[in-house]
Amino acid sequence: MIGVYANAQEAEIVAEFFELFKTPWEFFDKTHDYDVLIVTVNGFSATNARLVIYYGSEQNTFDIQERVKIRPVGKNNFLQVEDDYLPVYGQMSEISGHGQPLYQIKDCKASVGLETKRPDQCIIRIGYDLFEEVAHLLSIGQPPENALIPALDLHISILRKLILHSGITLVEIPPVPAGYNLIVCLTHDIDFIRIRDHKFDHTILGFLYRAAIGTLIDVLQRKRSIKELYQNWKAVLKLPFVYLGLASDYWFKFDRYMELEKNVNAKSTFFVIPFKNRAGHKVAGKYAYRRAARYDVMDIQEMVKKLINNRFEVGVHGIDAWHDTTAAREEKNRIAAISEKNRVGIRMHWLCFDKNTFGKLDEAGFAYDSTFGFNDAVGYRAGTSQAFKPIGTKNIFELPLLIQDTALFNPKHMSLTKNEAWDLSKDLIEKAAVYGGMLTILWHDRSLSPERLYEDFYLKLLAELKNRKAWFATATDICDWFNSRRAVKFEDVKVSNRNISIKSRTENNDEKPNLRVRIYDPSPIKDYTSIAFKNNFSYTDVPWQKEIHFSVS
């Protein structure tokens, strides 16, 4: 059991952290004994816990007693462990004294941690506030330059390793269902539905330039193939026939997405515009007026019903919901009326977001949001790929956005070749398999069509994810699964010699994939400098039951 002694204002973020790191814990109770005690408050003396971890950048009572030296090094530093780096956004201090140094500061001989051994007890001092870091990641998030670092997952990994290297058995419910290696949430933002809705506007002019001239430039720069040049030039020549109704509109791709995803037994989530010709308010930028769409959900009512009848999902592609609760309710109700679903999720058009967005969307009654990501990068804005409850909200889930097609390929963003984008995507898939959680993938409506032609990449991505034993699910189904995991409450965990007894209660939904319990075999070592972030402990996964008796061999 882990006990946590923290400031009262940290209580909500502490609780959320342990929903992500799902292991037995409680706020400190002086009448209870603990295997592990985490302390972030000054003036607290170590108890008889086998492992005590003090977090914080300022000097505390333990530092004075043990003559530990504290030297502030400021904000926005990195920890270096072998070839891995972890950004620390809050205040951090160098820690030195009698003991084993832990976790070197990047490009510096100084360490941010110190291990002190006592009879039957290990005390570790870490020079930053863990829960301050978690709060930052789940509210402000990371900058694009750190997007490929799963910072919050790495904090969990460090804590897990400190516990296991102290010889303490750890019980955890991983953030991936039994029988799968990762979760995948396929999503599509529907910004356009038909090319013939656009005549002599910036959309068509941009399409013609990118298809005819941009593709040729890409071919000369070896970014695209001759085949793609042929397909795009053919689409340009075909455009008059599309306007005349003599050729199919190659931007209308709902059926094609359904066909591709059914081949891997996947169901995706489509975010559709609630109101046409609304650019929205408070949108920064010279061309903010271009945010207005030429269609809305009323124009595709039959398609929405077809998607839902085939068990796909439809959510809101929000306009003003990110800053206005009244507008948020109006947009939600518009989609709910057509989809006939009470639980509705949202992703903001252009990923508009500010510090109040989570609260506005929660107050409006959205079941989930999937806006927290990057337009100009791929990766971990929240530092994790797990669904989480934003600070200060009651019901809404955030499903962080990890991979976006236009971020990968658009010349104004990362401008990657397909080979470069594939290497980057495989890296994120590998991290999802290591740390758990989900990959939320955004593939836009136009991305299967000329001039983008990203269908081959999408097919390759789907095949790779299927081979990796991914659970493909809609956003709502994923929220339900994470809710089931959150509902687990450890009532009693006992370790006697090599025997482990676990009693818990839950409200697990039998229609979703099962949970599992992971029991780690501890591995005491003397040298922490060799600890990398990646999981390298032996463990056993046990099928979920409310009462488990397990013997470690």
Question: What residue has token string 């510096």?
Answer: 108
Please spell the DSSP secondary structure of 61-73, one letter per residue.
HHHHHHT-EEEEE
Asked if 267 and 472 touch (Cβ cutoff 8 Å), the reply is yes
User: In Å, what is the CA distance from 193 to each residue of 140, 273, 360?
Assistant: 33, 10, 28
Query: What does the H/E/C string look like for 233-275?
Result: HHHHHHHHHHHCCCCCCCCCCHHHHHHHHHCCCCCCEEEECCC
pLDDT category of residue 509 using cuts at 50, 70 and 90: low
pLDDT digit string (tens) for 98-128?
999 999 998 888 999 999 988 889 999 999 9
What is the rounded CA–CA span in Å between residue 27 and residue 455?
50
The pLDDT, as a whole number, for residue 143 is 98
Does pLDDT of 284 surpass 50? Answer: yes
Poorest-pLDDT segment among 239-248, 316-325, 533-542:
533-542
The pLDDT, as a whole number, for residue 142 is 98
% of the chain with per-residue pLDDT over 70: 95
What is the rounded CA–CA span in Å between residue 374 and residue 434?
22
Q: Which residues contact 387 (CB under 8 A, 6 or more apart)?
A: 368, 397, 398, 399, 400, 437, 438, 478, 479, 482
Helix 325-339 and helix 357-364: axis angle, to 10°? Answer: 50
CATH 3.20.20.370 residue ranges in the chain? 182-193+251-481
What is the rounded CA–CA span in Å between residue 184 and residue 125?
37
Q: Which residues contact 240 (CB under 8 A, 6 or more apart)?
A: none
Does pLDDT of 534 surpass 60? Answer: no
Q: Which residues pair with 185 in a beta bridge?
A: 440
The pLDDT, as a whole number, for residue 64 is 92
What is the rounded CA–CA span in Å between residue 521 and residue 312?
41
Does pLDDT of 526 surpass 90? Answer: no
Return the higher-pLDDT residue of 48 and 77.
77
Does pLDDT of 97 surpass 70? Answer: yes
Q: Which residues pair with 124 in a beta bridge?
A: 53, 115
CB burial readout 227-247, b (16+ within 10 A) else e: ebbebbbebeeebeebeeeee
Half-sphere exposure of 263 (CA within 13 A, CB side): 14
The pLDDT, as a whole number, for residue 536 is 66
Which CATH number applies to 2-172: 2.60.40.10, 3.40.50.880, 3.40.640.10, 1.20.810.10? 3.40.50.880
CB atoms near residue 471 (< 10 Å): 23
What is the rounded CA–CA span in Å between residue 105 and residue 70?
14
The pLDDT, as a whole number, for residue 528 is 46
Give the residue-averaged pLDDT of 337-348. Answer: 96
The pLDDT, as a whole number, for residue 492 is 82
pLDDT digit string (tens) for 354-374?
999 999 999 999 999 999 999
Q: Which helix (H) or strand (E) holds 367?
A: none
Return the higher-pLDDT residue of 478 and 495.
478
Q: Which residues contact 177 (CB under 8 A, 6 or more apart)?
A: 183, 471, 481, 512, 513, 514, 515, 516
What is the rounded CA–CA span in Å between residue 424 and residue 439?
13
CATH 3.40.50.880 residue ranges in the chain? 2-172
pLDDT digit string (tens) for 183-226?
999 999 999 999 999 998 999 999 999 999 999 999 999 999 99
Does pLDDT of 261 surpass 90? Answer: yes
Poorest-pLDDT segment among 145-149, 341-345, 397-401, 513-517:
513-517
- For residue 76, report the phi and psi dihedrals to the nearest 5 degrees: 55, 55
What is the rounded CA–CA span in Å between residue 285 and residue 289?
9
pLDDT category of residue 552 using cuts at 50, 70 and 90: low
The CATH class given to the 182-193+251-481 domain equals: alpha beta
Asked if 66 and 98 touch (Cβ cutoff 8 Å), the reply is yes
**What number of residues does the chain have?**
553
β-pairing verdict for 403-404 and 438-442: parallel
pLDDT category of residue 547 using cuts at 50, 70 and 90: confident
Does pLDDT of 470 surpass 80? Answer: yes
What is the rounded CA–CA span in Å between residue 113 and residue 104?
8
pLDDT digit string (tens) for 10-46?
999 999 999 999 999 999 998 888 999 999 998 887 6
% of the chain with per-residue pLDDT over 90: 82
Mean pLDDT of the chain: 93
pLDDT category of residue 435 using cuts at 50, 70 and 90: very high
